């Protein structure tokens, strides 16, 4: 999704607020002033009584108060808005003192809509967004279903990158570089001829580095000389011994080491070359920093040339400020 989507509350809410504010304002006015004639007696002692009769002054006061109420209610409605942009939604409000709340949009968050009895008839309702840490309600917006697609695009901001399947011949014709890396397998060690889970960590380091950089392609089942080896040995180490089982296992490892909230930045493709099935993991650049969980700690990786680089914590802050300046 390019740019942002602005959502304002339904104009019906403006009308409702005007009615409510004016009712309360007049109730307060009559409670304070009462029904006696002392108001006119007090007014008669002021200099204004020489300029305007009491009834005219009362009319001007009430008209002025109504005008101020109307302007304030309109400005409160006008300056309140929700902004949907890639990976984030914001709620801004306030006339004299602006307040702003941001909520990161994550793949795992729940999105629900609701309508009140009047909202069903007048076509306005609310959208509730909730993750493990925070929530936000887009309250009383017109036709909330129309914005669900924009929210989904914001949660998956790089989905357009995955519309076309990558050209495998073009990929394996290249040397390893900033956006391409080849690995013989995901978890089967060809040298010792057995399962080696350290290979999974190495693959996830590359994926994390692509997420924190410009994105890229991790090709699995091809050696450094770009010779296709296939995934058959990897298949024998997982419960379901086919491409679906391979993708499911990759997702489990990804969620454990990187996190499910970043899974939508990754697309998995399978190809057959020389009667051997290989896998291409296409990674889009993340909209926020991604840390890899390794040995009960977290590490931050980036791609520098054809190398995956582990940044020191003293270097991470400067890099993230440069890479995501608006966060």
99 and 230 share a domain?
A: no
114 and 210 share a domain?
A: no
139 and 178 share a domain?
A: no
Structure confidence at residue 302 (pLDDT): 95
Find the domain containing 235 and state its range: 159-323
Tokens representing 18 are 């005007």
Structure confidence at residue 155 (pLDDT): 72
Structure confidence at residue 134 (pLDDT): 81
Q: How far apart are the first and last CA of the chain?
A: 17
90 and 217 share a domain?
A: no
Structure confidence at residue 42 (pLDDT): 67
CA distance 157 to 144: 20
137 and 185 share a domain?
A: no
φ and ψ at residue 270, rounded to 5 degrees: -125, 145
272 and 148 share a domain?
A: no
134 and 241 share a domain?
A: no
Among residues 124, 155, 186, the one where a domain terminates is 155
65 and 121 share a domain?
A: yes
What would you measure as the largest C-alpha separation in the chain, in angstroms? 105
Burial of 166 (0-12, 13-18, 19+ CB in 10 A): middle
**What separation in angstroms does the CA of 183 have from each of 172, 191, 244?**
12, 13, 19
- CATH number, domain of 298, equals 3.30.950.30
Among residues 155, 185, 219, the one where a domain terminates is 155
Among residues 155, 173, 200, the one where a domain terminates is 155
144 and 76 share a domain?
A: yes
164 and 21 share a domain?
A: no
How many domains is the chain built from? 2
Least Cα distance to 217 among 261, 256, 183, 255 occurs for 183
Residue 165 per-residue DSSP state: P
143 and 11 share a domain?
A: yes
Question: In tens digits, what is the pLDDT along the chain, a chain of 327 residues?
Answer: 456 789 999 888 888 888 888 788 777 777 666 555 566 666 666 766 667 776 777 778 778 888 888 888 899 899 999 998 877 889 999 888 889 998 888 766 777 788 888 888 888 889 888 877 788 899 999 988 788 777 877 776 555 556 578 899 999 889 899 999 999 999 988 888 899 889 999 999 999 999 999 999 999 999 878 889 999 999 999 998 999 999 999 999 999 999 887 887 888 999 999 899 999 999 988 878 999 998 878 999 999 999 999 998 889 989 988 888 755
Tokens representing 62 are 């009430």
246 and 290 share a domain?
A: yes
Report whether 234 contacts 190 (CB < 8 A). Answer: no
Structure confidence at residue 1 (pLDDT): 45
CA distance 66 to 62: 6
Residue keyed to tokens 């999105």: 111
Strand partners, 206: none
């Amino acid at each position: 999704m390019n740019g942002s989507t602005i959502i304002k509350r339904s104009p019906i809410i403006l009308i409702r607020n005007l009615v409510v504010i004016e009712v309360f304002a007049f109730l307060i006015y009559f409670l304070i002033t009462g029904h006696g004639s002392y108001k006119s007696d007090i007014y008669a002692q002021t200099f204004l009584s020489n300029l305007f009769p009491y009834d005219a002054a009362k009319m001007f006061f009430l008209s002025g108060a109504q005008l101020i109420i109307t302007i304030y209610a309109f400005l409160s409605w006008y300056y309140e808005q929700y902004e949907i942009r890639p990976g984030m939604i914001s709620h801004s409000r306030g006339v004299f003192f602006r307040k702003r709340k941001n909520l990161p949009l994550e793949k795992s968050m729940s999105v629900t809509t609701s309508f009140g009895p009047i909202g069903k008839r007048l076509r306005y309702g609310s959208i509730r967004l909730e993750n493990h840490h925070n929530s936000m309600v887009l309250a009383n917006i017109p036709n909330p279903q129309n914005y669900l697609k924009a929210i989904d695009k914001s949660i998956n901001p790089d989905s357009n990158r995955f519309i076309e399947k990558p050209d495998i011949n073009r990929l394996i014709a290249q040397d390893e570089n900033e956006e391409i890396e080849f690995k013989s397998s995901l978890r089967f060690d060809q040298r010792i001829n057995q399962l080696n889970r350290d290979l999974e960590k190495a693959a996830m380091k590359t994926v994390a580095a692509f997420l924190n950089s410009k994105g890229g392609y991790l090709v699995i089942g091809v050696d450094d000389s770009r010779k296709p080896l296939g995934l058959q040995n990897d298949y024998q180490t997982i419960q379901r011994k086919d491409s679906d089982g391979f993708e499911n296992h990759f997702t489990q490892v990804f969620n454990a080491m990187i996190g499910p909230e970043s899974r939508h930045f990754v697309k998995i493709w399978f190809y057959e070359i020389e009667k051997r099935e290989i896998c291409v993991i296409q990674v889009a650049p993340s909209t926020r920093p991604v840390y890899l969980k390794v040995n009960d700690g977290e590490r931050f990786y980036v791609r520098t040339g054809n190398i995956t680089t582990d940044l020191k914590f003293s270097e991470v802050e400067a890099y993230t400020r440069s890479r995501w300046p608006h966060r």
